[in-house]
Amino acid sequence: MFLLSLFQSGNSNRRKLTRICILLFISAALLFTGCPMGDVNGDNDQDAELNPNLIGRWVSEWGDGYIVEANTIINISSSGATAPIGAIKHINNFTANAGVIIVQYHPSWRPRYYSGGMEGWGNPENLLPLRGTFNGIYFRNLIPGVSVQMGGAFIEGGAEKATLAEAIAAFTLGNEGRYMALYGTFLWDAD
């Protein structure tokens, strides 16, 4: 009844009715076609490309660091020895200079976790089984060709996940505080 009276009341009311109808049509179209709204946790780039500014050798003041390649991440120990951490399986860019790279450990890369706190550390009897072979390597504050802060996800007993799907669900921007207490700062090494 209201709409009918608007239509019959004159020119300005017809314009109002036309605008209302157009807005209703656009709203309905967006509702049914699905307009991407973004993720409130900032995890809206779930299967992104590796940031090309991360590719290269990154070294801390102590000589340890990472070599990031197109498909692999390699650990650099403080002695300069290198060992493959694992194959890159998934990338989630939170921003242009921060995100997480999910890797599946190379068969030779096995972190060790021990029960019993510092007293149990290094005792083979206290060695805990690895929870999985997928882990997240977070990065932030990337300044291309200069520096980046990076670190592997960690919680007591190990942050590793058994499947890629579990790792993708766990290693997000929203969970960064759960897994990342410390970041190392690494400088670009052009050598």
Supply the pTM of this predicted model.
0.71
User: Do 88 and 170 have their domain in common?
Assistant: yes
Within-domain flag for 47: no
**Where residue 183 falls among pLDDT bands split at 50, 70, 90?**
very high
Q: Tokens representing 34? A: 């699905």
46 inside domain: no
Which domain range does residue 15 map to?
Answer: 2-33
29 and 62 share one domain: no
| Whether residue 72 is found in the same domain as residue 161 | yes
Residue 23 or 105, more confident: 105
Specify if 43 maps to a domain. no
- Whether residue 153 sits in one domain with residue 83: yes
Q: How many CB atoms lie within 10 A of CB 90?
A: 19
The answer on 84 and 19 residing in a single domain is: no
- Residue 27 and residue 116 share a domain: no
Q: Are residues 113 and 157 in the same domain?
A: yes
Same domain, 22 and 101: no
Taking Cα atoms as reference points, which of 98, 190, 90, 88 lies closest to residue 143?
98
Q: Quick one: pLDDT at residue 56?
A: 96
Number of structural domains, the chain?
2
Instruction: Write the pLDDT tens digit of every residue in 49-61.
Output: 899 999 999 999 9
Within a domain: 110: yes
Residues 74 and 11 in one domain: no
Residue 99, Cβ density class (10 Å: 0-12 exposed, 13-18 middle, ≥19 buried):
buried
- Dist CA 178 CA 153 (whole Å): 9
Residue 27 clears pLDDT 80, i.e. is over it: no
Do 160 and 80 fall into the same domain?
yes
Residues 6+ apart with CB under 8 A from 114: 120, 121, 122, 123, 126, 127, 128
| Structural domain includes residue 145 | yes
Q: Measured in whole angstroms, how far is the alpha carbon of residue 101 from the centre of its chain?
A: 6
Please check whether residue 39 lies inside any domain of the structure. Answer: no
Specify whether 143 is located in the same domain as 100: yes
Average confidence score pLDDT of the chain: 79
In a domain, residue 8? The reply is: yes
Let me know whether 117 and 90 are in one domain: yes
Confidence grade of residue 148 (pLDDT, cut at 50, 70, 90)? very high
Count Cβ atoms within 10 A of the Cβ of residue 165 and give its class: 0-12 exposed, 13-18 middle, 19 or more buried: exposed
Residue 41 in any domain: the answer is no
